[in-house]
Amino acid sequence: MTSRTERSLRSDYPHLHLITTRWHDNDVYGHVNNVQYYAFFDTTVNHFLLENKVLDFERGEVIGLVVETGCRYFAPISFPERVIAGLRVASIGHSSVRYEIGLFRAEKGDERDDFAVGQERAIAEGHFVHVYVDRHQRRPKSLPQALRQVLESILIRP
């Protein structure tokens, strides 16, 4: 992720996912509660994996467990805003992956799903580290080749 004062750009993320906020995402202060940002991150990662057919959460032999998360908040969002979530992979290990997610405000009233309209600077940035393990023994396993290939498609190079 970038430094505290420097926010990522939408173009820094090779995969984009549209999220519509919901009424119950807001807290008593009138903005999306911090815990919902983590749900947005999780949804974005898992949607990408499902979309690319490398996640079988019901029967897959290898599953990803979250071992680390973090988020930096730059600006609030509120229901009924739409959010564009950008996804990239920062590193791939033998059994682990660091996903980075940037959230960007979509323009109000824009009903297109082509991501052409929206703010360029992140309103929040976060990360998830997944360790992939055997479903039953919960011991680290090598990333399946199909998963590794899909992850490499959104891997950022230094």
Residue 116 — pLDDT band, cuts 50, 70, 90?
low
pLDDT in the model for residue 25: 87
pLDDT in the model for residue 127: 97
Tokens of 109: 């009233």
Asked whether residue 118 carries a pLDDT value surpassing 90, the answer given is: no
Q: What is the 3-state secondary structure (H, E, C) of the chain?
A: CCCCCCCCEHHHCCEEEEEECCHHHECCCCCECHHHHHHHHHHHHHHHHHHCCCCCCCCCCEEEEEEEEEEEECCCCCCCCEEEEEEEEEEECCCEEEEEEEEEEECCCCCCCCCCCECCECCEEEEEEEEEEECCCCCECCCCHHHHHHHHCCECCC
Asked whether residue 2 carries a pLDDT value surpassing 80, the answer given is: no
Tokens of 59: 């029967």
The angle subtended at Cα 81 by Cα 120 and Cα 119, nearest 5°, is 10
Mean pLDDT score of the chain: 90
First to last CA, the chain: 12
Mean predicted confidence (pLDDT) in 43-55: 95
Which pTM value belongs to this model?
0.89
pLDDT digits (tens, 9 = 90+) for 79-113: 999 999 999 999 999 999 999 999 999 976 555 55
* Amino acid of residue 42: D
Beta carbons of 133 and 65 less than 8 angstroms apart: yes
